[in-house]
Amino acid sequence: MISDRAIVQIKHHEGVRLRPYLCPAQLWTVGVGHVLYPEQAKLPVDERRRYPLSLADNRTFSQEEVDAILKADLRRFEMGVRRLCPGGLSQPRLDALASFAFNVGLGNLQRSQIRMRHNRGDFDGAADGFLAWTKAAGKVLPGLVKRRHDERLLYLSPNFSKVLPGTVR
């Protein structure tokens, strides 16, 4: 199970929004990066903006609702990480890989050097692989640099007392 400590770190990097909003990909999103309508992603980007927000979702979600949605979303990523990286999964490694997959998708984890190195038992190399994933649309984003450093530190951590969101830059 993804630890509470990792959930705090994911929330820190993703942000938490209690009201639905259109994310940069023009998808209705709420909470911690939860896409409300997966079918919306199948539309061309210019059509997504016109996708209606349902009356039931046009409200302020409670923190408890957002937390429950996040935990359900993270279960899928945990299962994916366990399937793709079956060996050598300490709690910190599971947490770091789930955070990474939550951000970039399980398909990108599957194709990544992080996974390949992890599965070969090259844990230091896998940790360094996080640092290659700092770009969006071809540009290095400071927020992704910070997140990848935090995920790397978490992955290498023998315990959580040494891992605090946003501490390693």
Q: How far is CA 104 from CA 36, 47, 54, 63, 122, in A?
A: 18, 23, 27, 24, 21
Q: Which of 14, 64, 78, 151 is catalytic?
A: 14
The amino acid at residue 22 is L
| Residues 149, 156: Cα–Cα separation, whole Å | 11
Annotated active-site residue 151? The verdict is no
Query: Tokens standing for 5?
Result: 């400590």
Q: How far is CA 37 from CA 28, 41, 54, in A?
A: 7, 8, 10
Helix (H, G, I), strand (E, B) or coil at 19: strand
Q: Which residues are catalytic?
A: 14
